[in-house]
Amino acid sequence: MAEQRKTGLVRSGLALGMVLAPLVAGQQAARADGWNDSRNRASAALVAARQKFFGAANVDARTGQVAGDKVIFSWITNASFAASIRGRVVLLDTFVTRLEVAPGRTPFVIQDLVDLKPEALLLGHGHFDHADNAAYISKLTGATIYASPETCDNMQLDAVKIFGAGSSAKCVSLTSRGSLPGSEIVNIDQLQPVASITAFKHLHSTNTAPQDKTFPPAIINAPVNGACATPCNLADARDAAMFPAGTPLSTVKDISTARTGQGGPISMFYSFKVRGERPFTFVWHNTTGALREGCALPNNIAGTTPPQPSQPGQDASGCFGPAVGQKLAAVMESLRPVDVELGSVVSLGYNINGERDIVDYNTHLAPRVFIPNHVTAVAVESSSLEWKVGYLKQQNAMSIPASQRPDLVWLVDPNDYLRPIVFDLPSDR
């Protein structure tokens, strides 16, 4: 059963007419610094891993502690990031594209994520390209998993599959089963006192929303086959020769997540408010739904004819309706000011409305800096720059004023893996 800690909690309110969930208590004791003797000297493996992910200049070579006056993001493929938040290390998703037994296109192995010793694993939703490896990393590090209750169900299945009968996953369920997106706002105290985390259910991307006629289609020219709908989502023909495949980890160790149950598309949105001389706010979402129509990926009960939705309020096409989308938009606007948005630029509806949905998320969040992700699954490897052209064309098609466009820090696979993106907290930029 997913771990649910409800003691010593308080409630807080937002003036949005929503039901607030109890605060969820995190694991406060260990900061996962890996200290192993009275002189506070960390293991060589922890120091090496943290320097690999966060940069040698930002990690104490003796203790393994990451700089306490910075927020650092290190991309580890798709929508997954290693993050150091004033020295507190967490993973945002745990999936790794082309995870191999030796570093290859992805320049690290699974042991590096274990050696990193994150204290928490925050999962956006339970699909394999986000939740793979989570139960394994959690068991070997003691890190707490945070997810929807349905995804926590999968973590329990994974723990038994990987570690045997009687094993369990340390997974905290964040929301009530069957609650509407945006109806529960949950505070997580895992990173107190340096940062607070707010989480709520939002919308998985979908290809079920109708074509939006309020703007002209954004068309781009691909270098391979001429004109195509945005984005082209084409692999560079030279990619296979430049980055040949090695031996997949899955051939020797299966640490993937279960595909059963309804946890897959039930998606969580996370907002972090970091305390310091200058407060710093960032948000992370690993999928981007259709806010205008309130539509998400269908989540129907397998084998039902006609399809029967598993989630209250959601129809068989995945739609909750515009009122739910409007409530989510209001929740997002309540998070402002947002310094950085790490968000999925990829939507399953890209052939219908291009990258409209991520532009809508940008509009409601109004981030100063946007770091797009999810460009190695659904988006094919090496297609990232096609999605960038499509995103810029989409902003033009939707007449987004220059003053309302965030600064872009675009990630390109595989160039930008383990390139720390560092924000100095005392600085205004």
Q: What is the pLDDT of residues 212-223, one digit of tens each?
A: 999 998 888 776
Token pair of 313 as six digits: 């309020």
Query: pLDDT at position 357, please?
Result: 98
Percent helix, strand and coil across the chain, each to the nearest 5:
25, 20, 55
Query: Is 31 among the domain residues?
Result: no
Query: Is 54 among the domain residues?
Result: yes
Q: Residue holding tokens 């003053």? A: 403
Query: Is 338 among the domain residues?
Result: yes
Interval 25-40 mean pLDDT: 41
Residue 312 structural domain: 44-424
- pLDDT tens-digit readout, 296-315: 999 999 999 999 999 999 99
Compute the mean pLDDT over every residue in the chain, rounded to the nearest whole number. Answer: 90
Strand segments, DSSP code E, in 63-147 are 70-75, 81-85, 88-92, 120-122, 144-147
Query: Based on C-alpha coordinates, what's the Rg of the chain?
Result: 21
Percent of the chain whose pLDDT exceeds 90? 83
Query: pLDDT at position 220, please?
Result: 84
Query: Is residue 359 within 8 Å of 395, Cβ to Cβ?
Result: yes
Q: Is the pLDDT of residue 26 over 70?
A: no
Number of domains in the chain: 1
Residue 358 to residues 176, 197, 210, 341, 355: CA-CA distances in angstroms? 26, 22, 16, 11, 6
Query: Is 177 among the domain residues?
Result: yes
Task: List the CATH number of the domain containing 233.
Answer: 3.60.15.10
Q: Is the pLDDT of residue 36 over 60?
A: no
- pLDDT tens-digit readout, 136-188: 999 999 999 999 999 999 999 999 999 999 999 999 999 999 999 999 999 99
Q: How many Cα atoms within 13 Å fall on the side-chain side of residue 341?
A: 30
Token pair of 240 as six digits: 């296979």
More confident call, 182 vs 278: 182
The dihedrals phi and psi of 57, each to the nearest 5 degrees, come to: -70, -15
Q: Is the pLDDT of residue 18 over 80?
A: no
Query: Is 8 among the domain residues?
Result: no
Q: How far apart are CA 238 and CA 206, in angstroms?
A: 31
The dihedrals phi and psi of 166, each to the nearest 5 degrees, come to: 90, -10
Query: Is 112 among the domain residues?
Result: yes
Query: Is 21 among the domain residues?
Result: no
Query: Is residue 104 within 8 Å of 246, Cβ to Cβ?
Result: yes
Query: pLDDT at position 23, please?
Result: 44
Query: pLDDT at position 16, please?
Result: 37
- pLDDT tens-digit readout, 281-299: 999 999 999 999 999 999 9
Q: How far apart are CA 98 and CA 145, in angstroms?
A: 23
Please report which confidence band the pLDDT of residue 41 belongs to, taking 50, 70 and 90 as the band edges: low
Angle formed by the axes of helices 356-365 and 384-397, nearest 10°: 70
Q: How far apart are CA 84 and CA 67, in angstroms?
A: 8
Query: pLDDT at position 25, please?
Result: 41
Token pair of 321 as six digits: 């309706």
Q: Is the pLDDT of residue 429 over 80?
A: no
Interval 370-379 mean pLDDT: 96
Query: Is 335 among the domain residues?
Result: yes
Interval 355-362 mean pLDDT: 98
- pLDDT tens-digit readout, 98-120: 999 999 999 999 999 999 999 99
Query: Is residue 122 within 8 Å of 115, Cβ to Cβ?
Result: no
Query: pLDDT at position 225, please?
Result: 65
Q: How far apart are CA 364 and CA 371, in angstroms?
A: 16
Query: pLDDT at position 229, please?
Result: 78
Please report which confidence band the pLDDT of residue 42 belongs to, taking 50, 70 and 90 as the band edges: confident
Cis peptide before 337 (omega within 30 of 0): yes
Token pair of 47 as six digits: 């120091």
Q: Using DSSP, state whether 368 is helix, strand or coil.
A: strand
- Tallying the residues shown for the chain, one arrives at 429
DSSP characters over 17-44? --PPPPPB----S-----B-STT-PBPH
